[in-house]
Amino acid sequence: MLTPTCLLTISLLAQSATAAPIFRFETGEFWLNLHHFLYVLGRAEAKTTDSARQAVAGAPADEASGLAGLTDDERTRWREAVHFYASGLSRKDLIFDDPLPAETSALADARDAPTLAAANLDGALRTTLERVAPLYRRVWWPAHRAANNAWQTSTQALVDRYGRAVLAFITRAYMMEWPAGGYPVHVAAYANWAGAYSTSGNLLVVSSLDPGTNGAEGLETVFHEGMHQWDTPVNDLLWAHADAIGKRVAPNLSHAMIFFTAGEAVRHVLPDHVPSAEALGVWGRGWTRLRAALEETWKPYLDGRGTRDAALDALVKLTAIEKSRPR
Ligand SMILES: [Zn+2]
């Protein structure tokens, strides 16, 4: 028999279950925002081809409007910082190249501290950031922080309304677990050319100024980045199926699965949603074959037919490549 105490306990448990966050959005991380702004401007100075992408293309104009209000000395100091990035960190990839994931995590941890004295950072990087911090705080940070807060408000509203259903869709499909306390998502005015990324150490960063990460696309994006934290176990599964037929997993297959599944999950709750892969033209970047295979093998499974492993097996068989190609 259930006593009043039991009922109270059950009710409290139910409340805590519904209150567990799926994401924890961090919008006031001053150092993380400064670091990404300089990183993106450094790539523009280094003329990397991805500097023209929508998520980062507006950064130089944003920089120029702020520079107009600085003294000559301040402008020089700022440009030296951008050049420091352009000749070093901005030539590396935020996701794959050390020491960026660790340094970015250290800067996220520093939040809005007055200095970086407590951060575990390369000395030259720390000096560079601290030299321009007063300029960034005065000139760009108010607008960047406001954009972060606006993004958080609108995305949190979508997560509150649809997040549970989207999460249930993707965890059921992948048969993998989401962390009980959700993922921290670090919101920055600029992130990288893609507008968002996920790397080691549960580091998820999303741009608040990129139109491609706002509204329903923002909802899809945060789940997409969280799903990247399953990359290792998913690739292990795919490789097990490929090994069984003596072949290799097609490049980008696990990433194509994320685009496809996150897009379908959001469309499940918002039928008019155009998945990011379609909106951004991702399939057209050499992934047409992967998309066709996903439609044929993974979509029926997402619609409730068959098992995950049978779907993965069929997907790998359709897309796998030979271990060694004849010359
Ligand atoms: Zn991705």
* Model confidence pLDDT, tens digit, residues 78-88: 999 999 999 99
For tokens 């408000």, what's the residue?
A: 153
Task: Please state, rounded to an integer, the average pLDDT across all residues of the chain.
Answer: 93
Centroid of ligand 1 to alpha carbon of 259 (angstroms) = 7
SS3 string, 187-211, reads EECCCCCCCEEEECCCEEEEECCCH
**Distance between CA atoms of residues 59 and 144, nearest Å:** 11
**Picking from 1-15, 42-56, 245-259, 263-277, which range would have the lowest pLDDT averaged per residue?**
1-15
pLDDT confidence of 325, banded at 50, 70, 90? low
Which residue type sits at 170? I
Centroid of ligand 1 to alpha carbon of 257 (angstroms) = 10
Q: Where are the alpha helices (DSSP H) in the chain?
A: 4-19, 30-45, 59-67, 72-86, 100-110, 123-139, 141-174, 216-227, 231-244, 253-269, 276-279, 288-293, 299-302, 308-319
Centroid of ligand 1 to alpha carbon of 133 (angstroms) = 31
Centroid of ligand 1 to alpha carbon of 161 (angstroms) = 23
Centroid of ligand 1 to alpha carbon of 292 (angstroms) = 19
Centroid of ligand 1 to alpha carbon of 139 (angstroms) = 32
**Distance between CA atoms of residues 108 and 119, nearest Å:** 10
**Distance between CA atoms of residues 36 and 13, nearest Å:** 40
Enter the pTM of the model.
Answer: 0.90
What tens digit of pLDDT does each residue of 172-185 get? 999 999 999 999 99
Centroid of ligand 1 to alpha carbon of 261 (angstroms) = 12
**Distance between CA atoms of residues 189 and 273, nearest Å:** 24
Centroid of ligand 1 to alpha carbon of 211 (angstroms) = 17
Q: Which residue has the higher pLDDT, 14 or 268?
A: 268
Centroid of ligand 1 to alpha carbon of 14 (angstroms) = 33
Centroid of ligand 1 to alpha carbon of 168 (angstroms) = 19
- For residue 191, pLDDT over 50 is answered with yes
What tens digit of pLDDT does each residue of 111-126 get? 999 999 999 999 999 9
- For residue 292, pLDDT over 60 is answered with yes
Percentage of residues of the chain with pLDDT beyond 90: 91
Is residue 266 packed enough to be buried (19+ CB in 10 Å), middle (13-18) or exposed (0-12)?
buried
pLDDT confidence of 1, banded at 50, 70, 90? very low
**Distance between CA atoms of residues 212 and 54, nearest Å:** 8
**Distance between CA atoms of residues 268 and 262, nearest Å:** 10
Question: How do beta strands 247-248 and 321-322 pair?
Answer: antiparallel
